[in-house]
Structures are given as C-alpha cells and as structure tokens.
Structure 1
Amino acid sequence: MTHTLMMKTSRTPKSGPTRAVIYVRISQDRTGAHLGVDRQREDCEALAESLGWEVVEVYIDNDLSAYSGKPRKDYRRMLADLELGTATVVISWHTDRLHRSPTELEEYIDLSQRRGVDTHTCQAGELDLSTSSGRMTARIHGAVARHESEHKAERVARARLQKAKAGKFGGGLRPFGWGVPTGETRKKTVKGTGEEIDVAVLDMNKAVPEEAAALEAGTDQILAGGSIRGWVRWLADKGLTSSTGKPIDHQAARDLLMRPRNAGIAVYQGEEIGAGLWEPVVDEGRFRAVVAILTNPSRVSTPGPTPKWFGSLIYLCGHQACTKTVKCTRTGGGNQPSYRCPDQHGGGRNAEKVDTYIEDLLIERLSREDAGDLLQPAADGVNVAALQLESEQIRRRMTELAAMFGAGSIDMAQFTEGTDIARAQLGGVAQQLARAAVKDPLVGLVGVPDVRKAWEALGLDRRRTVLRALLQVTLRPPRPGRMPDGGYFDYEAIETEWKR
C-alpha cells in the first residue's frame, strides 16, 4: 500500500461514517477467474477500512477496456448512483482504472464538482477535483493513460500487419477449411472456471481435407450456375458445420466462398496484401469468378421461397401476349401440383407430366453424339498464368504506395491517384480471370456414358440452370376437348425452342 493511506481528507464530514463506493476494472481477463478485479477490490477495501469509511457499493467491469469505446455498464451505474447522493467518495485502484477517455473524465469532473464527490486511489493518491491544479493533475493522468492505450493499440496493429504480410494466421477462431492437428497439445484455461484443460495444437497452414473439398465443391457449384442455398443444403447433407460447430446459414456460406484465404491470399483490414503461407483450396481464377458472380448487382440473391419444381418461374405462359412465368400450385379437387400463370391464363397444367416431358427432352439431346457442339467455347486469348502474375504485381505496387506515403515520400494526392489506378487495373484483371473460370453448366453431362444417371445425380438448382441454358419452354393453353389435369394430356401445347 502506498502513502495514500495517510493523505488528507479535509472534505470528509466530521460526524458519521463517510459513505464510499469502490470501482474496479480490468481490460482483459484471459482466465475468466476475476483475479485482477479481486486484487483491486481487496486493496480498495483496505484503504477504506484504514480511513474509517463505509463501503456502500462495489462496481465491477471485468474484461472490458475503458479505451475501446464500449459501454461500461457498472461505471454508468456508478455515475447514476452518485447523482442520487449514494456516496461522497469514490475509491479506485488507479486513475487509469476509472478513465482513459478525456470525454469521460470531463463528465466525471463535472459530476464530482456538482455533488461534492472526492476521488481516492490506492496507487496515485487523492484527486482533488475541486481545484484547478487537481483537475490539471487528473487530466495529465488521463492523457498519459490515453497515450498508453493508443501506443499499445499501435503495437498490436503493427504486430498483426507484420503477421499478415508474412502470410501467417492472424489468430482468432479456426478458419473453416484449415487447422490440422499437429499431435501436440497446450494448456488452456476455461473461462469462468479457471480450470486448465489440454487442447490440440493446430497447423493453420494445412487444409482440412473434407472442409477444403466442401469449399471447392461450393466454388464449382456457383461457377456452374448453382446457388448458395443449394450449397447450404449440400453442406447440411454432408453433416458439415462451421468451425464453432454451428450450422452454416446462407450469409455464412456466402462469406466463406468470398474469402481471399480460399485462394491463398492474405488480407489485412479488408485489403489484400499478398500471398499467404497456407495451402490454397481453389485457384485464384475460380475464386475471382465466384466473387464476380456473387457481387453482380443483377444477381437475384433473395428470390423468395426456394423453388421446389423444375420449371417453376422458368416456363413461360403462352396465353396471347402474356410474358409472365408460371408457378406450381396445388389447387383443384385432387390437390394435384399444377403449373399456372399468376393471371390464371389457360388453367393449370399437370406439373409432373410437364417436367418429365421436358427432362426427357433434355436428356435425349444431351445423349446424342453431337452433344459436344452444345458446349460453349472456352474464353479465347485468356492467359490465366499471366493474369495471376499481373494481379500479384498490382497488389505489390499498392503495398509499396502505402509504404511510400507512410514514409512521406509521396503526398496524399499522389497516394490516392496511384491507388485508384491500381484498383481499377486490379478490377480489370479480376474480370478477365472470372471470364476464364466460369463453367458451362453442361460440363459433367456431355460425353458421359449414362446421361440420365448423371442428370439424376444433379441437385434441382443445377438442373434448373441447365434448363435455362438450353431450352425455352412455353405452356400454351390446351386445345379444346383436352383435359389439362388428367386424362388425355396435350403435349402439343408445350412449345419448346432450343437456345443452343
């Protein structure tokens, strides 16, 4: 205990015990055992006892930085209580436990003056906020604490940037796709209990085979015209979850497919800064293509309920000048699924019969000897290796521009102009890589020994993509005397037109 135990208490009332409150806080509690705040509390209680003060409340903010800007609930509760006259003395272990923000300090000074509140600390003595010199001392302590917080933040940021530039894992949760056990273990303290357990040490540079395969499968599905929702269902069917064990939802799946890490690219504060040391699970071309597809403004990412029928929202209504697509509904006495125009043109068409007919047409066409003619030619004149090299050179130039600006070699205008040009060039390279990587949805169906078997192995999303690519289907009203939903089915009212 410091000399604070003998400091003056001239503002303390002569009669009756002085009512005091204690405030304790630590920024980080790695063990969850509250040992830091407990030690602070013991010292503060010893100070109160030595001076004969009555502690009426203890306020604790554990594992919460005063510099982060996040609300300190118990600190705010203490201020509210002081406004109500709960106590006339605040005891804290050190001034930096109370404040590291000049704004908070000024609020506290104002309250202390209005309510006659004294402040005592175990390590820094009394803060007499009733005098200008006392307020100056408090502000100096606050400025020093602020500088220490900012300096620490700068050190942490530099360390993280250095790690990122070296292509190393920056810490945090295990990224889905990487983290193979090394066979070694380390001790970890369980938060809230203080219990130590052994946990496996993971190699974050090595890909987890089943998760890497899942990322590659998702990439290929998007490139072949599939949807994120289809990949989410695929992940669920395989029993794959996030690295925290939670189901992977639509947004999480989208984020996973758009991570530069998938292509072995290191990122710092949202900016790509070079190659990482970990194993990439997809090549850069396919990664850029997926990003281009998923960020395309014309892409409909939330079209409503997932279509459950092959031709829903794809087949066209053929009634006169109607241009709407049909939907599958269950109406009528037999509750039979039927394709119907939203404007009820021409009644319903038996959905199962229409779909079977169209799928048979597609399978028959894809089974012909000339089915290879249906494949779209690969992007001509695209040198993927050269584009990847150019991409790396542009990113390196952006990093060098940042270093030159930080060293004062160039001014802000030069840095901004150079960075804007580099970004534009990088965008062009990414578009070229995307064009080279997008898959024809017919790949995997053309030239296989059994097209029907390959077709049946596809998910509904992929089948619908093939339908959009190959065939335009228009459902004309059945001819008079033909029953639209049962009996004689009017196949001649289904009009088809090949797109390739």
Structure 2
Amino acid sequence: MADVDTVIYLRQSQDRTGDELGVARQREDTRKLCELRGWRVVAEHSDNDTSASGKRQRPGFEAVLAAVQEGRAACVVAWDMTRLTRNARDRLRLLELGKRHGLTVAFVRGTDLDLSTPAGRLTADILGSVAQHEIEQKSDRQRRAALQAAEQGRRIGGRRPFGYEADGVTIREPEAAAVRDAYEGVLAGVPLGRVAADWNARGLHTPQARFTHGCDGACPASVRPRACPKRTATEPSEWTAQTVRPVLLNPRYAGLRAHVTEALREVMDPRAARLKAIVGPAAWEGLVSEETWRAVVELLTDPSRANPARGGKGLLTGVALCGVPECGATVHRGAAPARRGREGHATYRCRAALGHVGRAVGPVDWWVTEVVIGRLERPDAALLLADDKRPDAVKLRREARALRTRLDNLAGLLADGTLTETGVRRESAKLRAKLEEVERQQADAGRADILGPLINAPDVRAAVEALDTDRLRVVIDTLMTVTLLPPGRGVRFGQDVAAWERTAERISASIVIDWR
C-alpha cells in the first residue's frame, strides 16, 4: 500500500521546559515509518504539553479528524495508540470516521489497523480501552500520592510560587518582602491596585511566562494560548489587582498546606476551594503568621467588598459625609469649574447630589490631619490601644490544628464501627462549626494595629505626615466620623497653610468631628 496520503499526529502529555523534545522524537520515528512504507505525508499535526484524557481540547487531533473527514488523508500515523487517544469520546469519533472513510491507522510501536473492517475497529477499541484504563489507574495513584503529600505538608511540584524559588520551599527574599508588605498594607487599607503598582515598581513580575498564539489563527477560538502547538513565550506579566488577590489568599503564605479534591473542584473555583481544603501545616516556612493571613482573607472575601469603592486621591474620599440634612452620603474629590479666568481647584463634593456640599480640599485636609495629630499626641492616647480581650494567637493555632486532626480521624472511626454514618455527619458538623469560630478569632488576632506605631512614635507629627494617603485615610476612619457642612457664600480660606492657620476657627466651624 504505497503512495498513500498520510497525516502524522504527535502528542506529548507534559513538556515543562517547552523544548518539544518528546514530539521531536516521535516526528523522527513516524517519518521514518512513512518513508519505509512509501507513504506520502500531506500534513503533520501535534499537541505538545497536552493530555489526551479529554479534559482539554486538542487542536492537533481535531485537525487530523478534519483531514480524514474532508478526504485529504487515507492514513493516520502515530507513535502508539496512547499518543492518539485515551478517552472513549475521542476514540468513538475516530472509529466512526474510520468506518465511513476507510481509514487506516498505523503505529510506530504497534500494528496497522484498518478501521473500515469490524476486526480493525474491535482491535482499535480494545487498545483504546487499555490506554484509557492505564490513564485512569495512573490518575488514581497520583491522587493518592497527592493526598499523602498534603497530609505530610510536602509540595509535589507545579509552577514556582511568588516569594519562593522553583522548589517552592526556599524563600526568595526580594519577593517575600513584597508579599509581607502587601499583607500589612491591605490590613492598613491599601487597595490591591496600589499593591500591584508597588510590586511592578520594584521590578517584580508574575512567576509564569505569558504565551501567545503562533498559529496565525489556525487554533479554534476556545483554545488558550498555552495550549497552542506553536505557542510563543513572552515576558512575565505585570501585576494587577486581579492577580495580586489570589496570591494573598493562598494558604501557603501562612505556612499552611491545602489539598483541593476533585469533588471540591466540581462545586467551586479551585482558588476558593483552597480556603476550605486546609489539611495542616506545610513543610515550608510561611511568610506571615496564620493570624495575619486569616485577617486578610476575611477582608478580601467580605461580600460587601464584591465591588469595593475606589479610595481615590482625596484623603477623605469615601470617608467624610455630606452634612446636608437627611443626606449623609460620602464625598469624593473633584475639580471646581474655572471661573473668570481662574483655574478650578480641587474640591470635595457629595456623591448623591451636585448641589450639596462643595468644599476646597486643601483647608479641609489640613484641619482634619491637625485634629488627628492633636488626638494622638494627647497623654491619654495610649488608652486607644487598650484591648484586654485580644485573642491568644498561639492557643488558637493549637486549637485549630487539634480540630483538623479530629476531623481527619472521623473516617477511621466510621471504618472500625466506633461511629455510624449519621454519627460521623453530626460530629463533623460540630467540629467544623468550632473550627470556623476559631478561624474567625484568628482573623481578629491578626488585624494590624493601625494606631500603635503612631502613638508610640518619638515624633507623632512626623509619623502621621509620613503616612501615604491610603493609610492616613484608614487612621481617620478608625478614630472619627467627619461630616462636611457647606461653608456659606463668599467664604474663602486661602491657598496655603499660613492662610489656613489664620482662619482655623472658621474652617473648623464647618467640619463636624464625631469621635468613635
């Protein structure tokens, strides 16, 4: 059977380095087979770094089927059946095409199969079933090994996590310092977008390289760039608020090991599932305490933050309230319109109505900041830090570990008959409720002390003036409620601190401070 139009198919399940050495070996062997048989190779398709289990689309395999369907090929050559198909759905599609179009499938490590005959289809079906059985057994072994590694706190590979070297254990200090700063900043009110900008300014990028299609549109629209057989690696991406968030929610940074099962993946996003799937301490060192991590998790997963208001550039944006009776909306920073040839100046305006409060930003910010400094410089400022009910972090950590161990042991109690299935469910519900309460207390224990570093500073004024806008905004919101009243017609406070000091009494008369 010489001079047959043939399509070569190549596939490698994993190619972490991207050098395509696996498909290169298959290419050499399959072309040598075609040359020996005298077959004419009309096309070659490959799916590098792609599993054939059926969870991801294989553009190369789809192209092979299309070539057979359109009559452009009468033979398909692969290294062996496991390279061609390892799931029932793809195998059935191949067999049906083979029956209709008289397809022959040939393997470097195997025999030729004429799919136009019942015997050929039966043999192909048996070989495919064996390949599928092999991958399912391998998957079972891998799941059991992954569970054992999780229970022992070990890492079993994957992409390099930000803050660590490729082994996932050794700390990469420049990135680790950025992660620690981010946890502290988020608890102090810094938006995730500012965290991302800070990481980018430090020259830090995401650990994973980006990929772009290199197939000139040959891949279907649903195929991700990483799955493209001719993909091109580019520089790692810069950070955004959306990519920073999952980093801070990852339990690994608290030195905790999570194990997300297939059952959890089916009911929730894998990143959210990690928060529910913590099995115990990890073998690597965390970058922050468990209490700090849980405090950030509670903050970032709060439903009220699903669409958080932007802090903006104004110190009192989203914090100060409109003083018009029965309004109470927050204010935002804007620019007053230019008049009589003068440029507009920055103003705070009510979010709810244009005709409500309109106050110049400069004197308001100066006065509120002076009030904050005055309060923190008072002799009784230390009373603001009094907290006799602060949770014991070490005790809570021990209690959480004990509860997780008891949950793990419930399966053994069911197996040996100590507890019935109903009893296990009831006991599990009780233990999980206790664990949730302990984790909530851990989050409380990990909240950053906003006022402590300021009150204990040698120079309170210098410490307050050194704060960036986001952190000072949180300090103001922690100490007081600010309400801005209309200043009245024709009232001017000047453009500099000297002028504001002269009119301080008039400025304060239209700003209401209610201490929390």
Q: Report the TM-score when normalising by structure 1.
A: 0.82
Q: In structure 1, what is the Cα distance between the partners aligned to 2:359 and 2:169?
A: 55
Q: Judge conservation of contact 2:75–2:105 (CA < 8 Å) in 1.
A: yes
Q: In structure 2, what is the Cα distance between the partners aligned to 1:248 and 1:290?
A: 19
Q: Residues 309-328 of structure 1 correspond to what in structure 2 (within 5 A)?
A: 309-328=314-333
C-alpha distance 246-49 of structure 1, shift in aligned 2 (>3 A):
closer
Give 2:368's aligned amino acid.
I
Say yes or no: does 1:259 pair with 2:275: no
Say yes or no: does 1:429 pair with 2:438: yes
Q: In structure 2, what is the Cα distance between the partners aligned to 1:387 and 1:423?
A: 15
Q: Residues 334-373 of structure 1 correspond to what in structure 2 (within 5 A)?
A: 334-342=343-351, 343-345=353-355, 348-373=358-383
Structure 2: tracts of 5 or more residues without a match: 209-235, 261-273
Higher normalized helix content (fraction of residues): 2
Displacement of 1:287 in angstroms is 2.0
C-alpha distance 453-22 of structure 1, shift in aligned 2 (>3 A):
same
Say yes or no: does 1:53 pair with 2:39: yes
Say yes or no: does 1:282 pair with 2:288: yes
- Of residues 294, 304, 308, the one that matches 2:313 is 308
Q: In structure 1, what is the Cα distance between the partners aligned to 2:454 and 2:20?
A: 62
| Equivalent residues, number | 462
User: What secondary structure is seen at the aligned counterpart in 2 of 1:497?
Assistant: strand
Instruction: State which drifts further: 170-179 or 26-35.
Output: 26-35
Q: In structure 1, what is the Cα distance between the partners aligned to 2:442 and 2:434?
A: 13
C-alpha distance 264-403 of structure 1, shift in aligned 2 (>3 A):
farther
Instruction: State which drifts further: 484-493 or 129-138.
Output: 484-493
Aligned residue number for residue 143 of structure 2: 157
Q: In structure 2, what is the Cα distance between the partners aligned to 1:140 and 1:479?
A: 89
Aligned residue number for residue 375 of structure 1: 385
Q: In structure 2, what is the Cα distance between the partners aligned to 1:232 and 1:18?
A: 57
Instruction: State which drifts further: 401-410 or 367-376.
Output: 401-410
Give 1:379's aligned amino acid.
K
Give 1:433's aligned amino acid.
Q
Displacement of 1:375 in angstroms is 3.0
Displacement of 1:161 in angstroms is 3.0
Say yes or no: does 1:95 pair with 2:81: yes
- Of residues 392, 405, 414, the one that matches 1:396 is 405
Q: Judge conservation of contact 1:178–1:207 (CA < 8 Å) in 2.
A: yes
Q: Residues 211-226 of structure 1 correspond to what in structure 2 (within 5 A)?
A: 211-226=175-190
Q: In structure 1, what is the Cα distance between the partners aligned to 2:71 and 2:170?
A: 60
User: What secondary structure is seen at the aligned counterpart in 1 of 2:45?
Assistant: strand
Q: Judge conservation of contact 1:24–1:37 (CA < 8 Å) in 2.
A: yes
Q: Residues 36-47 of structure 1 correspond to what in structure 2 (within 5 A)?
A: 36-47=22-33
> Deviations along 1:117-172, whole A, 9 cap, x unmatched?
22233332122333433322221111110111122223333333333332223223
- Of residues 193, 201, 204, the one that matches 1:229 is 193
C-alpha distance 335-151 of structure 1, shift in aligned 2 (>3 A):
same
User: What secondary structure is seen at the aligned counterpart in 1 of 2:44?
Assistant: strand
User: Percent of pairs identical after alignment?
Assistant: 35
Q: Judge conservation of contact 1:18–1:88 (CA < 8 Å) in 2.
A: yes
Q: Judge conservation of contact 1:371–1:447 (CA < 8 Å) in 2.
A: no
Aligned residue number for residue 78 of structure 1: 64
Q: Judge conservation of contact 1:225–1:441 (CA < 8 Å) in 2.
A: no
Larger radius of gyration: 1
Q: Judge conservation of contact 1:223–1:437 (CA < 8 Å) in 2.
A: no
Aligned residue number for residue 8 of structure 1: none
User: What secondary structure is seen at the aligned counterpart in 1 of 2:453?
Assistant: coil
User: What secondary structure is seen at the aligned counterpart in 2 of 1:321?
Assistant: coil
Q: Judge conservation of contact 1:470–1:499 (CA < 8 Å) in 2.
A: yes
Instruction: State which drifts further: 80-89 or 114-123.
Output: 114-123
User: What secondary structure is seen at the aligned counterpart in 2 of 1:445?
Assistant: helix
User: What secondary structure is seen at the aligned counterpart in 1 of 2:454?
Assistant: coil
Displacement of 1:100 in angstroms is 0.9
Aligned residue number for residue 497 of structure 1: 513
C-alpha distance 156-350 of structure 1, shift in aligned 2 (>3 A):
same
Q: In structure 2, what is the Cα distance between the partners aligned to 1:28 and 1:263?
A: 30
Q: In structure 1, what is the Cα distance between the partners aligned to 2:83 and 2:490?
A: 88
Q: Judge conservation of contact 2:160–2:167 (CA < 8 Å) in 1.
A: no
- Of residues 120, 123, 132, the one that matches 2:118 is 132
Q: In structure 2, what is the Cα distance between the partners aligned to 1:405 and 1:101?
A: 35
Give 1:177's aligned amino acid.
G
Q: In structure 2, what is the Cα distance between the partners aligned to 1:458 and 1:123?
A: 69
Give 2:401's aligned amino acid.
E
> Deviations along 1:362-403, whole A, 9 cap, x unmatched?
1111111111223352435x3332221110012122333456
Instruction: State which drifts further: 359-368 or 160-169.
Output: 160-169
Aligned residue number for residue 298 of structure 2: 292
> Deviations along 1:215-264, whole A, 9 cap, x unmatched?
33332333344443343344345444444564332133222222222221
Q: Judge conservation of contact 1:310–1:463 (CA < 8 Å) in 2.
A: yes
Instruction: State which drifts further: 81-90 or 120-129.
Output: 120-129
Displacement of 1:66 in angstroms is 1.4
Displacement of 1:463 in angstroms is 0.6
Displacement of 1:95 in angstroms is 2.1
Give 1:478's aligned amino acid.
P
C-alpha distance 111-497 of structure 1, shift in aligned 2 (>3 A):
same
Aligned residue number for residue 491 of structure 2: 482
C-alpha distance 40-240 of structure 1, shift in aligned 2 (>3 A):
closer
Q: Judge conservation of contact 2:324–2:357 (CA < 8 Å) in 1.
A: no
C-alpha distance 256-482 of structure 1, shift in aligned 2 (>3 A):
same
Displacement of 1:347 in angstroms is 5.9
Aligned CA-pair RMSD: 3.0
Structure 1: tracts of 5 or more residues without a match: 1-11, 180-201
